[in-house]
Amino acid sequence: MNSPKTGKKERPHSQEIFRRATDVLVGGVNSPVRAFRAVGGDPIVVDRASGARLWDADENEYIDFVCSWGALILGHAHPKVVQAIADQARRGTSYGMPTELEVELASRIRKALPSCEKVRFVSSGTEATMSAVRLARAATQRDLIIKFDGCYHGHSDSFLSEAGSGLATLGIAACPGVPQALASLTLNTPYNDAAAVEKLFEQNRGKVSAVIVEPVAANMGLVPPSPGFLESLRELTTRHGALLIFDEVITGFRLCYGGAQTLSGIKPDLTTLGKIIGGGLPVAAYGGRKDLMDRVAPLGPVYQAGTLSGNPLAMSAGISSLDLLAAPGFYESLEARAKRLGDGIIGALRETGAQATAARVGSLLTLFFSPGAVTDYAAAKKCDTKRFATFFRGMLARGIFIAPSQFEAMFVSSAHADDDIDRTIAACRESLVAASE
């Protein structure tokens, strides 16, 4: 329903549902950024979704560029993925025992990412990164890890300092409840600054177990790696006897059939995956060299387990999704869609003279309300978040749903048609003008 006077989408039923949610859910949500605290107003309450669109509880329609935070590269409710889930559901939804489906999905991952000689499935990206770091510490018998300001690796204790994503959105640099003794084992340094990483290694000789990095940062907004940065991390970790962990929860199967490591030619020791490999269901994984992964129970002493790990519904959805992504021309077509959107946004910035800049890597995009390029978290934090909030509300009123945070990315899916892209560019132009007034 649209207001005849303002064009703003009215959401009385959604608001009533959210009011009830605040009584029984913390903040009315199950993940902080969904609460719209950074952009103002009540969140949309989704009723259903299909393809590139979703509908709220008041029947308002939106073109969706959140796509379940990047998990839905095929769009919502792809018929073949839905059919795979339905077929498996009739055979059972959870066994808590091995299935051939686990073997099939792991084999596809290993073929696409040769660095993952063995894989362990878990249920969330947080589980995957937490487990990878535990394994790295055990393998090296060292305690320290190096992570980068603004890179988000989930909400386990080791990562809740100077992190991006929801922490950046809420302006939280460190999290209460994390013991200082544990926080001191995480060394933070600026993204894209290889010299700073080298300095940390020199200051902590023989103590660093691993460097964990988003090979294309996407949780402080989209920030590509500078030329040579990832290569430097590979060289430094090898030289100092530490492990290199690529967090490809977002980039895995997003930029190509494989990961950022496929495009860069850099082989990490361990990789974490999530989102796309589950086809919209809760799945993540960590994998790496055989000698490292064989340290995980039951073969080794590094314990990790999960009742729903390798869940057959999720495995079926993942297999179906990866089979569709492997089709010839899939990523070329996706790149063309994303380029059309990215070029259109840049054109809108030029036409309106807005003090903003756009970044794009494949089907990941961010519009930063910053006059200059954003290359690290310090630059991202200088963005005008109030103007972003105005822009966000303008896009939402025009039927375009983007992430309710300056520090997240837009995700283009194969379900977005040219008309969707054109309509989004037009809405962007109008919303930029409104945000500048």
- For the beta sheet containing 400-401, the strands, ordered from the edge strand earlier in sequence to the opposite edge, are 46-50, 53-56, 61-64, 400-401
User: What is the arithmetic mean of pLDDT over 99-118?
Assistant: 98
φ, ψ of residue 119 to 5 degrees: the values are -130, 145
pLDDT in tens, 352-391: 999 999 999 999 999 999 988 999 999 999 999 999 999 9
Q: Of 56, 58, 64, 247, which one is the catalytic site residue?
A: 247
Query: Which residue is associated with the tokens 């199950």?
Result: 30
pLDDT in tens, 60-80: 999 999 999 999 999 999 999
pLDDT category of residue 407 using cuts at 50, 70 and 90: very high
pLDDT in tens, 308-342: 999 999 999 999 999 999 999 999 999 999 999 99
Predicted confidence (pLDDT) at residue 17 exceeds the cutoff of 60: yes
| Residue 275 known to be catalytic | yes
pTM as predicted = 0.93
Computed over every residue of the chain, the mean pLDDT equals 93
For the chain, the three-class secondary structure string (H helix, E strand, C coil) is: CECCCCCCECCHHHHHHHHHHHHHCHHHCCCHHHHCCCCCCCCCCEEEEEECEEEECCCCEEEECCCCCCCCCCCECCHHHHHHHHHHHCCCCCCCCCCHHHHHHHHHHHHHCCCCCEEEEECCHHHHHHHHHHHHHHHHCCCEEEEECCCCCCCCHHHCECCCCHHHHHCCCECCCCCHHHHCCEEEECCCCHHHHHHHHHHCCCCEEEEEECCCECCCCCECCCCCHHHHHHHHHHHCCCEEEEEECCCCCCCCCCCHHHHHCCCCCEEEECHHHHCCCCCEEEEECHHHHCCECCCCCECCCCCCCCCHHHHHHHHHHHHHHCCCCHHHHHHHHHHHHHHHHHHHHHHHCCCCEEEEECCEEEEECCCCCCCCHHHHCCCCHHHHHHHHHHHHHCCEECCCCCCCCEECCCCCCHHHHHHHHHHHHHHHHHHHC
Q: Of 9, 62, 147, 152, which one is the catalytic site residue?
A: 152
> What local confidence, expressed as pLDDT, does residue 164 receive?
43
Q: Of 9, 275, 376, 420, which one is the catalytic site residue?
A: 275
